[in-house]
C-alpha cells in the first residue's frame, strides 16, 4: 500500500468522523428496493453499509420491497400481473404469493445477508405483534366526460392507518436491526399488500427518525434540464410539483417524503441504489449522492 493510498483512506475516515458523531444514537430508516435487491455485489455492499451504521452507534431500520421477485414467481405460476397507478392489483391468489415472497423469501434473505456480514437482524411483517394496521386502499379516476369518478378496485392493497411502535422499540432496545416486510392487517384480520415507500415513511415518522433514505433505480430528483438537484427545500419541492417538473413515478416517493417530514423526520434522501455503498456515500460524505430534501437550505 502506497503512502498516497493510506492518505486517501485517512482522508475518508476524517470526513466520515463528524457524521458518525452527529448521527450516533439516531434512527435512520432505509427503504431497500430496485436493482440493489437483485445484483449480488450490490446486495452485499448494502448489507455491509447497514451493519457498519449499526456498529458506529446508529439505529438503522430496513423496510424492503420485492416487486421483481413477486412478478417473477407470479409469471412462473401463470398468474398475470396488472397495475393501476403503479400499484399491483392484488386478488386473493396474488396476495398469497405476495405474502410468501415478501414475508418469507425476500425478508429472510435480507436478514441472512445482514447476519452473514456481522449484523444482528430480525425480520418481521406488519402482521407480527399487530405492527401495521391498514384499510383497503380505494382509487378513483375521472375524465372530463365522466359525471362522477370511477372507483377502481385493486384488491388487497392497503393504506396505513397506524403503526404500533412496541415491536420496533423492543428490537432496538435489544440492539437488533429490524427488517420490515410491507404487509399489514385490517380490523377484521384481512391481509394487505402495502407500498414499501409508504411503510418506510410511516415508520420513520412514528420513530421521529433523523433520516429517511429511499434507495431507487434513479439518480435523484431532476430539474427541467434533466440534471439531478443535490438539495431541495420543501418549498422548492412543492413548486416543482406545481409546475410539473416532478411527475409520474416520482410523485409517490415525493409524497412519502413530504408526509414523513411533516411528521418530524429531519430529511429525506432519494438515492441511486445501483451505486455500490450508496447508503454510506450519502450518510458519511460531504457531497453525498442523489437528492436530499430538507426543511431549509443547508
Question: Would you write out the chain's pLDDT as a tens digit for each of its 298 residues?
Answer: 665 566 666 776 778 888 888 889 999 999 998 777 888 888 999 999 999 999 999 999 999 998 888 988 999 999 988 887 777 888 899 999 999 999 999 999 999 999 999 999 999 999 998 899 999 988 776 566 666 666 778 888 988 999 988 889 889 888 999 999 999 999 999 999 999 999 999 999 988 899 999 998 888 888 888 888 888 888 888 888 888 888 777 787 888 888 888 888 888 999 888 888 888 888 888 777 888 998 766 5
Q: Which residues contact 173 (CB under 8 A, 6 or more apart)?
A: none
Distance in angstroms (rounded) separating the CA atoms of residues 179 and 113: 11
Helices 196-206 and 250-262: crossing angle in degrees, nearest 10, is 10
- What pLDDT was estimated at residue 131? 92
Domains of the chain listed by start with CATH number: 24-294 (3.40.1160.10)
Distance in angstroms (rounded) separating the CA atoms of residues 260 and 207: 10
Main-chain dihedrals φ then ψ at residue 17, nearest 5 degrees: -55, -50
Distance in angstroms (rounded) separating the CA atoms of residues 30 and 153: 30
- What pLDDT was estimated at residue 219? 85
CB atoms under 10 Å from CB of 222, counted, come to 16
CB atoms under 10 Å from CB of 219, counted, come to 16
Distance in angstroms (rounded) separating the CA atoms of residues 134 and 64: 18
Distance in angstroms (rounded) separating the CA atoms of residues 270 and 31: 10
Q: Is the CB of residue 274 less than 8 Å from the CB of residue 36?
A: yes
Element (H, E) at 181: strand 177-181
pTM comes to 0.89
- What pLDDT was estimated at residue 146? 62
Amino acid at each position: 500500500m502506497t503512502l498516497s493510498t493510506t492518505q486517501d483512506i485517512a482522508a475518508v475516515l476524517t470526513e466520515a468522523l463528524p457524521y458518525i458523531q452527529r448521527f450516533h444514537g439516531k434512527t435512520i430508516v432505509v427503504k431497500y428496493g430496485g436493482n440493489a435487491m437483485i445484483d449480488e455485489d450490490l446486495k452485499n455492499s448494502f448489507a455491509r453499509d447497514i451493519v457498519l451504521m449499526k456498529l458506529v452507534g446508529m439505529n438503522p431500520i430496513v423496510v424492503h420491497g420485492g416487486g421483481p421477485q413477486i412478478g417473477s414467481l407470479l409469471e412462473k405460476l401463470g398468474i398475470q400481473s396488472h397495475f393501476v397507478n403503479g400499484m399491483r392489483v392484488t386478488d386473493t391468489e396474488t396476495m398469497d404469493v405476495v405474502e410468501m415472497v415478501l414475508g418469507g423469501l425476500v425478508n429472510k434473505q435480507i436478514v441472512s445477508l445482514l447476519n452473514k456480514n456481522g449484523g444482528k437482524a430480525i425480520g418481521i411483517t406488519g402482521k407480527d405483534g399487530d405492527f401495521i394496521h391498514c384499510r383497503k386502499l380505494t382509487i378513483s379516476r375521472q375524465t372530463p366526460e365522466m359525471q362522477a369518478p370511477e372507483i377502481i378496485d385493486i384488491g388487497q392493497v392497503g393504506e396505513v392507518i397506524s403503526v404500533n411502535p412496541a415491536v420496533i422499540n423492543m428490537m432496538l432496545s435489544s440492539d437488533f436491526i429490524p427488517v420490515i416486510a410491507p404487509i399489514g392487517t385490517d380490523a377484521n384480520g384481512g391481509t394487505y399488500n402495502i407500498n414499501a415507500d409508504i411503510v418506510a415513511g410511516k415508520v420513520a415518522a412514528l420513530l421521529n427518525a433523523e433520516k429517511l433514505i429511499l434507495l431507487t433505480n434513479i439518480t435523484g430528483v431532476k430539474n427541467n434540464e434533466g440534471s439531478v438537484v443535490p438539495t431541495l427545500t420543501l418549498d422548492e419541492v412543492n413548486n416543482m410539483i406545481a409546475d410539473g417538473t416532478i411527475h409520474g413515478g416520482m410523485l409517490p416517493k415525493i409524497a412519502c417524503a413530504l408526509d414523513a417530514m411533516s411528521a418530524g423526520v429531519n430529511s429525506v434522501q432519494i438515492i441511486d441504489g445501483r451505486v455500490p455503498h450508496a447508503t454510506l456515500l450519502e450518510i458519511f460524505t460531504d457531497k453525498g449522492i442523489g437528492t436530499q430534501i430538507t426543511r431549509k437550505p443547508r
